[in-house]
Structure 1
Amino acid sequence: MTESSSRRRTAAARNPGTAPEPPAVLPGKATINDIARLSGVSKKTVSRVINNSPLVHPETREKVLALMKQYGYTPDPQARGLAFRRSFLIGLIYDNPTAQYIVNMQYGALDALRDSGYELVVHPCDSSREDYIDGVRRFVQQQKLHGVILIPRVSEDEQLATALREIGVRYVRIASVPLDAPASMLVTNDRQAGTEAANYLESLGHRTLGLITGPRRYRSTIERGGGFLDGLGERGIELPADYIFEGGYTFDSGVAGAEYLLAKSPRPTAIFACNDEMAAGVYKAAMRRGLAIPGDLSVVGYDDSPVAAQLWPALTTIHSPTRDIGRQAAQILLADEAAPAPLAPRTVTPQLLVRDSSQRPHP
């Protein structure tokens, strides 16, 4: 044994809680065993640090965290799930044709999960299939998910919510109206936003209007379109049924809806499309007919997706804070299960964002 080795062993004997000087590098990727060895503590103690256990001494916690940072160690969610008999995975389950909506929702959820030790996994599904609930159940059980975020339209399916309750997984439902216990809901108040769109267009002087809705089976269609009709009714305008077109929340359905409405006599001077992709389709149909926006036709969309600002003229739309909705939904799942249940669900309120696609109609 060299003299320097003897001195290190003597120092360690005097200070048993002091770890040996760690090497500059580790061969390969650092593991939890490496961090435990370098910290001079047990693997169980490192696990407690990872999971923010109050049973760890502050100095020990700081030492373990510093070594984790130094060697770039990050715990594997699946391995943690096996060790603690639960998963560190949050699922996002959706059946939605609007890609940007899904992307923004994922960004929001990831904002909340950052540095939490949890990861996000996604599961697209087709809610029109008879076996889709069985598919969701298998996904949740195979991944041993800590919880799931349900977004429209699957969030509106009571049978799916019942199936998740039966297998004992936490979930949060994002929907236009309260559909569940407050602890499991995030409400987006779509009807109020639809009413605001109607009030705005009528205040500009529009009396002949068209409405392009989403699919009838979506609750958001009922709320957004219903709010628009309510707002017009409160201002003395009854929208004829043949001035309402059922779209599919897609660009092509927006084109088809606008072609249908713009062929009417009298022609609408304004169209409210229940999402921005359909509103973009209205632009194309108007261009085909040589109609100027907003000179000949005012257009209002919904969501305030990136396309709204990219269109020319920029689209007046309802700003729905989709990324914030995703963030709040994930936060609900990360909250302490033992905390008192809220008396009311979390809510977000969309707001009208006036840009350049709307103005007073020609006299």
Structure 2
Amino acid sequence: MPPNRREDGPPDLAGKAATINDIARLAGVSKKTVSRILNRSPLVRSDTREKVEKLMREVGYVPDPMARGLAFRRSFLIGMIYDNPTAQYIVDIQYGALDALRDSDFELVVHPCDSRSPDYVAGVRRFVQQQKLHGVILVPRVSEDQALCDMLDAIGCRYARVAAVSLEGPERMVVTHDRDGAAEVADYLQRLGHRDLAMVTGPAAYRSAMERTEGFVGALRRRGIELPASRIVEAGYTFESGVAAAERLLRGRNRPTAIFCGNDEMAAGVYRVALRMGLRIPEQLSVVGYDDSTLASRLWPPLTSVRRDTRDTGRMAAAMLLQPESAARPLASVRPHLVIRDSCQPPP
């Protein structure tokens, strides 16, 4: 019987967390053998592997990622760097990344930043180097910053970019095709008979906002409808900014019959103003959002919105960092599509 093992249970470690040395001693094997088992080496006999893995389960042994990082001269950490005001979007990206990292030995660490700060690239550099990250997921808007990507290249840190359009080679990109999603909204509203339309767009600094605006305006133009500049209001991808934009668009008697919002948070702001003004949705005003977040189905009436599988986007980006750098692969894409609910109908 291995030392320190109780007759009726797992080895007694006197309340201490087991180390790799403890596992080797209790199993009667070398530390190198335990290390090989942890790293799924085929050079270990199956009976030895089963015995050691059973022992690790009994004592609740969990490998120390920092110690493993020192041994392999790299960490087992994937970073996620973001500057994005939409909380649900960030949460969904994280869930997707965690889906990809499950059972991989890697963990996710997040780093919010302010891309408007003059030293934010230096701050990201410090974060990456202090954590010795294996790689990073870049979420819009920071994914659109070439200076940030150049810095990561300079320090030898892998990255995967999530963006509305392709910004570089397929080995580093997950493309969300925002222009196509916005064009589908324009086609849908035109088919319903709307010609007096408006748009609440996101911040001009975001490529996603530009792509959604150009996709919507361009699709309307192809159908013979010009959207005046006065009908396009820039907001901040937040509920409060959606309220302010709606107050501009809905004041007075010459109101649009339909409003397309660059995300669901801003669409909820339009709902708030319409309710306050006594405008019925969709009888007097049709509203469409973007993202198809959980908020869309909870509004009343439920919001028609463009769905892009954000969780799948995060999964693809994280999976990209787990593959060998030399692996050739096609461009990763997440295609948007319109989910029709009850917030739109033909104009009055």
The answer to whether the superposition gives a TM-score over 0.5 is: yes
Secondary structure in structure 2 of the residue aligned to 1:91: strand
Q: Report the Cα distance in structure 2 between the residues aligned to 1:199 and 1:60, rounded to whole angstroms.
A: 64
Alignment map for 1:247-258 (pairs within 5 Å): 247-258=235-246
Measured against aligned partners, the alpha-carbon deviations of 1:152-175 in whole angstroms (never above 9, x if no partner) come to 000000000000000001100000
The residue number in structure 2 matching 1:75 is 63
RMSD: 1.5
- Which TM-score applies when normalising by structure 2? 0.95
Secondary structure of the residue aligned to 2:37 is helix
Work out whether 1:109 is the aligned partner of 2:103. Answer: no
- Secondary structure of the residue that 2:233 maps to in structure 1? strand
Which of 18, 22, 32 pairs up with 1:34?
Answer: 22
The reply on whether 1:282 has 2:270 as its aligned counterpart is: yes
Q: Name the larger-Rg structure.
A: 1
**Corresponding residue SS for 1:161:** helix
Distance in 1, Cα, partners of 2:51 & 2:223: 67
* % identity of equivalent residues: 63
Name the CA distance, whole Å, in 2 between partners of 1:238 and 1:22.
80
Equivalent residue for 1:142? 130
Equivalent positions of 1:1-363 (< 5 A) are 22-23=5-6, 24-25=9-10, 26-27=12-13, 28-263=16-251, 266-339=254-327, 341-342=328-329, 344-362=330-348
Report the 3-state secondary structure (helix = DSSP H, G, I; strand = E; otherwise coil) of the residue aligned with 1:355.
Answer: coil
Q: 1:252 deviation in Å?
A: 0.7
1 CA distance for matches of 2:109 and 2:261?
31
Residue identity matched to 2:97 = A
Where 1:222 maps in the other structure, the secondary structure is helix
3-state SS of the aligned residue for 1:122? strand
1:236 aligned counterpart, secondary structure: coil
Give how far 1:117 is off.
1.1
Q: Report if the CA contact (8 A) 1:75-1:117 is conserved.
A: no
Residues 264 and 222 (structure 1), Cα distance of their counterparts in 2 relative to 1, 3 Å cut: farther
Distance 1:54 1:268, change over 3 A: same
> How far off its partner does 1:78 sit?
1.3
Once the two structures are superposed, residues 82-129 of structure 1 have per-residue CA deviations (whole angstroms, 9 ceiling, x without a partner) of 111100000000000111111111111111111211111110000001
In structure 1, what is the Cα distance between the partners aligned to 2:261 and 2:157? 36
Aligned-partner residue type, residue 349 of structure 1: R
Counterpart amino acid of residue 264 in structure 2: D
Q: Is the 8 A contact 1:295 1:359 kept in 2?
A: yes
Q: Residue by residue, what CA displacement relative to the aligned partner does 1:283-321 show, whole Å, maximum 9, x if unpaired?
A: 001011100011111110011111111111111101111
Q: Could you tell me which amino acid in structure 1 is paired with residue 99 of structure 2?
A: D
Q: SS of the residue aligned with 1:172? A: strand
Q: 1:153 to 1:78 in 2, by over 3 A?
A: same
- Residue 4 (structure 1) aligns with: none
Moved more, 106-115 or 52-61: 52-61
Alpha-carbon distance in structure 2 between the residues aligned to 1:77 and 1:212: 45
Q: For residue 341 of structure 2, what is the amino acid of its counterpart?
A: R
State the SS of the aligned residue for 1:300: strand
In 2, Cα distance between equivalents of 1:229 and 1:273: 13
Structure 1 position 60, deviation (Å): 2.6
1:36 is paired with a residue whose SS is: helix
Q: Is the 8 A contact 1:300 1:316 kept in 2?
A: yes
Runs of at least 5 residues in structure 1 that lack an aligned partner in the other structure: 1-7, 9-18
CA drift at 1:350: 1.2
